[in-house]
Amino acid sequence: MLVEVDDIHVRYGDLVALRGISLKVEESEVVCIIGPNGAGKSTTLAAIAGGVTPHAGTIRVGGQSILGQRPEQVARLGLSLVPEGRHIFGTLTVEENLRIGGYIQRDRAAAKADFDRLLELFPRLAERLRFPAGRLSGGEQQMLAVARAVMTRPRLLLVDEPSLGLAPKIIDQIYEILLDLRQRVKLTLLINEQSSTRILKHADRLYVLRGGRMQLEGRAADLQDGEAIRHAYFGFDEGQAARMETTA
Identify which of 86, 61, 63 has the alpha carbon closest to the alpha carbon of residue 74: 61
Q: Judged by CB, which is closer to another protein: 13, or 239?
A: 13
Closest distance of CB 171 from another protein, Å:
15
Please, what is the minimum distance in Å from the beta carbon of residue 155 to another protein?
Answer: 14
Q: Where are the beta strands (DSSP E) in the chain?
A: 3-12, 15-25, 30-34, 56-61, 64-65, 79-82, 156-160, 188-193, 205-210, 213-219
Nearer to another protein, 140 or 205 (CB): 140
Min. distance of Cβ 36 from another protein in angstroms? 21
**E-strand spans in 152-204?**
156-160, 188-193
Q: In degrees to the nearest 10, what's the CA dihedral of 129, 135, 139, 144?
A: 40
Closest CB to another protein among 68 and 134? 134
Q: Which is nearer to another protein, 70 or 219 (CB)?
A: 70
Minimum distance, C-beta of residue 72 to another protein, in the bound complex (Å): 5
Q: How many CA atoms lie within 13 A of 140 on its CB side?
A: 19
Which chain residues interact with another protein by CB under 8 A?
A: 49-51, 70-72, 75-76, 80-81, 83, 87-92, 96-97, 99-101, 103-104, 132, 134-138, 141, 148-149, 151-152, 165
